[in-house]
Structure 1
Amino acid sequence: MTTTTTTGDDASPPPPPDSEPVTERLPAPRLVARATGTYIARMQPRYLADVPSAVAELARLRRGAGKRAHQVPDLWGIGGTDELADLLDGHEGFFRPEYAEEAVFLAATLWALHQQSSRDHGMYSRGQNLGGAVRTLIRLKGAASADEEDSPLRKRLVRVGTAESLDSVAVRLREIVLLLRGAKVPLDYARLAGQLYRWQHRPDRAGVQREWGREFHLAAVSAARKAKAGADSGSGDAIDGTLRPDEDFGGYAAGE
């Protein structure tokens, strides 16, 4: 048998599916998080102040909660997509912009659903990650510490982590957000958007799933420390809900 050796440019194998430029891998989730955070930080105070245009825009966004961006053409151009386009300008090698659009769209529409009818508190709060929010909700429901791991709410979070399609993730997140809305537990939608961007890239999916599980378990440790600190100081913890549209998200959304 004669073996022919190929040389030159044709010798390089084609890149594997879902490969991406190394230089864009790290900043991409941060840009997605920043676009989402910038949009919500601009809209949330206006909604809380009952500005008619903001109220109307959130009503439109809610129709897209749990859906994919292409399924709701009426929402093209709102919900953070313009902010995303502005941030992506000049990033010609940005990996999978469609992943970014889906992540921003899903996070923004879920926030609009979460914020519905709540004018006293913003439902976007930095630092309240998905696993921590579910843990908080479980405790508000009165579950004993020994029962938290077996809670149906924890199982809902597990269902998000085991979903195999973005459609399933969207629907399952919508179910959790409705429960968070009922208990007025906020969520960090900028961080979530960055995670959703990474989740769509198959090699990064396991890392996002681990983050959601780690957030849930670390929330238990954090709550215990806060309870001890509160007992020692005799005062509760203060939450700084200040939002700035121009805030630098850094590596925050990448789970750093």
Structure 2
Amino acid sequence: MTITPTTAGADASPPVENDSVRDAERLPAHRLVARATGRYIGRIQPQYLADRPSAVSELARLRRGAGKRAHEVTDLWGVGGTEDLAELLAGRTDFIRAEDAEEAVFLASTLWALHQQSGRDQGMHERNQSLGGAVRTLIRAQGTAGEDEEDSPLRKRLVRVGTAESLGSVAVRLREIVLLLRGAKVPLDYARLASQLYRWQHRPDRAGVQREWGREFHLAAASAGKKGRPTASGTDSEAIDRTLAADEEYGGYAAGE
């Protein structure tokens, strides 16, 4: 499937301002992927929580693609943040991995829709809740404590995501984790996950993403006993991925832009 810029209609989101376009032209690719995902979810999530029929219907469609590849669900072509991505990529002649970007945005958006299913009291897309940190939170929510956390089946599920060799395998294994997160109402930062999924698809960057997921898991344990206090390196988020730490790097998606 090829991403093509779209023309905004009466019901479309407002067009990107010139300053935003220029900003997008300067951003690294993985940040554009995070921005597109965050902008889309940041726009739809409040509508779903408010029980707006259009958002409820859109999430029902999106859930059908959870754990699948973007080209496999023809009903979702152009849905789930890919239009936001196309808008941000317009004019980017240096962007050569558009298909990887589309897969990352699609997978993150559909997993969020699955995660959010039937939940109106809380948004399941939450800033700064990393994948490794969410799994650690889930382990503790299920009552496992202390050193037993390292032997938890949930930790093994996270390891299986990290050791997957194809995007299809990553998608299926992430879907399993998301279903468990949904049951415990543990949120996840899907913009961050989309950025990681984009980088994971580039073989030279894969090991770095795998290490990132591992650090997220272990740093969540270290920070649990120091809630409200900075770590030795400054903040927990700095120790995980500095490129995604600052608010401006996400493009203000929390407000839905």
The two structures have a TM-score, normalised by structure 1, of: 0.80
Q: Could you report, residue by residue, the CA deviation over 1:181-201 in whole angstroms, capped at 9, with x for unpaired residues? A: 000000000000000000000
CA distance 1:56–1:149, shift in 2 (3 Å) = same
Q: Give the root-mean-square deviation of aligned CA atoms.
A: 1.9
The answer to whether the Cα contact below 8 Å between 1:114 and 1:123 also exists between their aligned partners in 2 is: yes
Give the Å deviation of 1:250: 5.0
Q: Could you report, residue by residue, the CA deviation over 1:114-166 in whole angstroms, capped at 9, with x for unpaired residues? A: 00000000000000000000000000000011100000000000000000000
CA distance 1:250–1:103, shift in 2 (3 Å) = same
Q: Which runs of 5+ in 2 are unaligned?
A: 1-24, 231-246, 253-257
Q: Could you report, residue by residue, the CA deviation over 1:217-248 in whole angstroms, capped at 9, with x for unpaired residues? A: 0000111101889xxxxxxxxxxxxxxxxx73
Amino acid at match of 2:66: A
1:91 maps to: 92
Amino acid at match of 2:142: K
Q: Could you report, residue by residue, the CA deviation over 1:19-71 in whole angstroms, capped at 9, with x for unpaired residues? A: xxxxx997100000000000000000000000000000000000000000000
1:32 maps to: 33
CA distance in 2, matches of 1:127, 1:227: 15
CA distance in 2, matches of 1:193, 1:121: 21
Regions of 4+ moved over 2 Å: 247-252
1:114 maps to: 115
Aligned-partner SS, 1:74: helix
Aligned-partner SS, 1:35: helix
Amino acid at match of 1:165: S
The answer to whether the Cα contact below 8 Å between 1:28 and 1:95 also exists between their aligned partners in 2 is: no
Aligned-partner SS, 1:78: coil
The answer to whether the Cα contact below 8 Å between 1:115 and 1:122 also exists between their aligned partners in 2 is: yes
Q: Which runs of 5+ in 1 are unaligned?
A: 1-23, 230-246
The number of residue pairs the alignment matches comes to 212
Answering whether residue 122 of structure 2 is matched by residue 141 of structure 1, we say no
1:81 maps to: 82
Answering whether residue 244 of structure 2 is matched by residue 248 of structure 1, we say no
CA distance in 2, matches of 1:151, 1:26: 38
1:211 maps to: 212
Amino acid at match of 1:248: E
Alignment of 1:139-218 (within 5 A): 139-218=140-219
Percent identity over the alignment?
Answer: 79
1:240 maps to: none
Give the Å deviation of 1:95: 2.8
Aligned-partner SS, 2:225: helix
Amino acid at match of 1:131: G
1:127 maps to: 128
2:46 maps to: 45
CA distance 1:251–1:35, shift in 2 (3 Å) = closer
Amino acid at match of 2:183: G
CA distance in 1, matches of 2:86, 2:26: 18
CA distance in 2, matches of 1:88, 1:222: 37
The answer to whether the Cα contact below 8 Å between 2:38 and 2:250 also exists between their aligned partners in 1 is: no
Alignment of 1:218-237 (within 5 A): 218-226=219-227
Higher alpha-carbon Rg: 1
Amino acid at match of 2:86: A
The two structures have a TM-score, normalised by structure 2, of: 0.79
The answer to whether the Cα contact below 8 Å between 2:34 and 2:250 also exists between their aligned partners in 1 is: no
Aligned-partner SS, 1:226: coil
Q: Could you report, residue by residue, the CA deviation over 1:79-100 in whole angstroms, capped at 9, with x for unpaired residues? A: 0000000000111110310000
CA distance in 2, matches of 1:84, 1:106: 13
Amino acid at match of 1:42: R
